[in-house]
Amino acid sequence: MSTASAFDPSALQPDSAAQLPSAPASATPASTTLPAERIRVRAALESLPAYVAGKPAPDDGVRRFKISSNESPFPPVETVREAAVAALGEAHRYPDAAAQALREALGAEHGVEPSRIALSTGSVAVTGDLVRALVDQGDEVVYAWRSFEAYPILVGSHGGTPVQVPVTARGEHDLEAMAEAITERTRLVLLCTPNNPTGPSLSTADVEEFLTRVPEHVVVAIDEAYREFHDPATVLDSAGILARHGNVVLLRTFSKLQGLAGLRIGYAIAHPRLARALSQVTLPFGASRPAQAAALATLQPEARAVLDRRAAWIRTERDRVAAALAEQGWDLPVTQGNFIYFPLGEQSQDFAAFADARGLVLRAYGADGVRATIAEPEASDLLIDIAAAWREHS
Ligand SMILES: *Cc1c(COP(=O)(O)O)cnc(C)c1O
């Protein structure tokens, strides 16, 4: 006979907490001295650049727009937010580690079997999974530079050797030089289109021609984080490329147009063999319940219609800003992302400081350039004014 008492979760809600024994006060105060250590951190970490996140707006009374992280200026679509909130009610349960419902929906979306979809906590994490699945100590990963800041960190931290191929003066991938950079040790090539932070994109013909020069055992990852902001008439036929090449993997995120950067979810579409390898190395239970639910909700027709309108709005706004800057005499790389790049070289830090003092937080990249995200129209208007003032001042 069971003697278990009736299970009543509501009896243990906070209003009954007063009846619970209180936790003992911590006996040992926090110590300010640290013990000696002889930890052996991997030597590879010594040479890694730190990921510099977009600066938060400082709290000094100046009203600032933070347009330094390519985030969406729009909060999540209401139905998407509701799905995430509803999923919180189940937060005491582990998420579906296989993310079956989401992978099926994404498979249908892309016309591929769900077995070809691999998910993780953002496409940065999926890129890390690619490195861990493919790259042994000393193997090489080829990518353009300047490109996404996370690449050198992901490659180097997993023991790979980064091979950075400079972008052209127009901020474009130099595919000729990238093909030449492939060696016996190359396991992975990362193409970023549109390229963050410079803006230009790759054409289908360019990528197909490049692929003829890549050995079939070398994986080519196409990072399409900004795909939705591209002119739809000329956007890369990545589905066709994927269908034709067993060594191509597409990387997609919910962080940009879908506005879920804070929930962390992204995915790869790959050959089933590679997708399986990714699932073997990925963080177990990485994509949380709210993240899976929210991502799934973005694929519903109603949410999709809203997102399509937002993408069109960003494109129009970007073209408005680019035209205004061209009018002022700026000669900037063509951008297909939700951002604009100023290749200012040695003046980059000064320009970012100049903008900061006038209410805009931008992202400066060493002595290469400065990136501004297309966000609120007030922020874009301010960017146009600041860019004009800079030209007068310098
Ligand atoms: C923002 C961005 C991503 C997306 O990263 P998440 O981890 O999904 O947030 C991927 N690639 C590039 C080039 C990006 O700029």
Q: What CATH number is associated with residue 352?
A: 3.90.1150.10
Q: Which atom of ligand 1 is nearest to the CA of 195?
A: 13
**Whether residue 272 is found in the same domain as residue 161:** yes
Instruction: Answer whether residue 1 shows pLDDT above 60.
Output: no
Residue 40 lies in a domain: no
Residue 201 lies in a domain: yes
**Whether residue 268 is found in the same domain as residue 368:** no
Q: Which residue's alpha carbon is at the smallest distance from atom 11 of ligand 1?
A: 225
- Pairing verdict, β 140-145 and 186-192: parallel
CATH of the domain at 275: 3.40.640.10
**Whether residue 254 is found in the same domain as residue 372:** no
Residue 39 lies in a domain: no
Residue 189 lies in a domain: yes
First-to-final CA distance of the chain: 87
Q: What local confidence, expressed as pLDDT, does residue 23 receive? A: 57
Q: What local confidence, expressed as pLDDT, does residue 4 receive? A: 62
**Whether residue 90 is found in the same domain as residue 103:** yes
Asked if residues 332 and 326 have their Cβ atoms less than 8 Å apart, the reply is: yes
Instruction: Answer whether residue 16 shows pLDDT above 60.
Output: no
DSSP state of 125: H
Closest CA to 291 of 99, 53, 73: 99
Instruction: Answer whether residue 49 shows pLDDT above 60.
Output: yes
Q: pLDDT higher for 43 or 383?
A: 383
| Across 14-36, average pLDDT | 66
Distance (Å, whole) CA 168 – CA 199:
12
Instruction: Answer whether residue 120 shows pLDDT above 90.
Output: yes
Instruction: Answer whether residue 51 shows pLDDT above 80.
Output: no
Mutate to test the pocket of ligand 1, among 129, 253, 265 (most ligand atoms within 8 A of CB): 253
**Whether residue 240 is found in the same domain as residue 147:** yes
- Please identify, among 266, 300, 334, the residue that sits at the C-terminal boundary of a domain: 300
Q: Which atom of ligand 1 is nearest to the CA of 254?
A: 8
* CA 34 to centroid of ligand 1, rounded, Å: 37
**Could you tell me the CA-to-CA distances from 85 to 101, 180, 184, 292 in Å, in that order?**
18, 49, 49, 12
The tens digit of pLDDT for each residue in 56-83 reads 666 777 788 999 999 999 999 999 999 9
**Whether residue 340 is found in the same domain as residue 236:** no
Task: Enter the tokens of residue 41.
Answer: 């951190």
Q: How many other CB atoms are there within 10 angstroms of residue 134's CB atom?
A: 22
**Whether residue 265 is found in the same domain as residue 309:** no
Q: Which residue's alpha carbon is at the smallest distance from atom 3 of ligand 1?
A: 225
Confidence of residue 43 (pLDDT cuts 50, 70, 90): confident
Q: What local confidence, expressed as pLDDT, does residue 75 receive? A: 97
**Whether residue 127 is found in the same domain as residue 204:** yes
**Whether residue 268 is found in the same domain as residue 323:** no
**Could you tell me the CA-to-CA distances from 208 to 4, 76, 157, 170, 220 in Å, in that order?**
66, 35, 30, 21, 11
Number of domains comprising the chain: 2
Residue 43 lies in a domain: no
Residue whose structure tokens are 């079939």: 216
Residue 334 lies in a domain: yes
Q: Burial letters for 240-262: b for 16+ Cβ neighbours within 10 Å, e otherwise?
A: ebbeebebbbbbbbbbbbbbbbe
Beta strand segments in the chain, E: 65-66, 117-120, 140-145, 161-166, 186-192, 219-223, 248-253, 266-269, 339-342, 360-361, 363-365, 369-373
Q: What local confidence, expressed as pLDDT, does residue 57 receive? A: 64
- Please identify, among 300, 330, 359, the residue that sits at the C-terminal boundary of a domain: 300
- Please identify, among 277, 300, 323, the residue that sits at the C-terminal boundary of a domain: 300
Arithmetic mean of pLDDT over the chain:
93
* CA 393 to centroid of ligand 1, rounded, Å: 35
**Whether residue 235 is found in the same domain as residue 342:** no
Q: What local confidence, expressed as pLDDT, does residue 58 receive? A: 67
Distance (Å, whole) CA 289 – CA 87:
6
State the sign of the Cα–Cα–Cα–Cα dihedral 116, 118, 124, 129. Answer: negative
**Could you tell me the CA-to-CA distances from 90 to 84, 94, 256, 298 in Å, in that order?**
10, 8, 26, 20
* CA 129 to centroid of ligand 1, rounded, Å: 14
Q: Domain of 161?
A: 78-300
| Region of poorest pLDDT, from 25-39, 101-115, 197-211, 289-303 | 25-39
* CA 30 to centroid of ligand 1, rounded, Å: 38
Q: Which residue's alpha carbon is at the smallest distance from atom 2 of ligand 1?
A: 225
The tens digit of pLDDT for each residue in 149-165 reads 999 999 999 889 999 99
Pocket of ligand 1 (CB under 6 A): 70, 122-124, 148, 192, 196, 223, 225, 253, 255-256, 261, 266
Q: What local confidence, expressed as pLDDT, does residue 63 receive? A: 83
* CA 387 to centroid of ligand 1, rounded, Å: 27
Question: Which H helix or E strand runs over 306?
Answer: helix 301-327
**Whether residue 381 is found in the same domain as residue 250:** no
Residue whose structure tokens are 């929906």: 105
Q: What percent of the chain has pLDDT over 90?
A: 83
Instruction: Answer whether residue 18 shows pLDDT above 70.
Output: no
Q: What local confidence, expressed as pLDDT, does residue 90 receive? A: 97
| Region of poorest pLDDT, from 4-13, 170-179, 272-281, 297-306 | 4-13
The tens digit of pLDDT for each residue in 204-240 reads 999 999 999 999 999 999 999 999 999 999 999 999 9
* CA 383 to centroid of ligand 1, rounded, Å: 23
Instruction: Answer whether residue 52 shows pLDDT above 80.
Output: no
Residue 129 lies in a domain: yes
Residue type present at position 363: R
Confidence of residue 12 (pLDDT cuts 50, 70, 90): confident
- Pairing verdict, β 186-192 and 161-166: unpaired
Residue 58 lies in a domain: no
**Whether residue 248 is found in the same domain as residue 386:** no
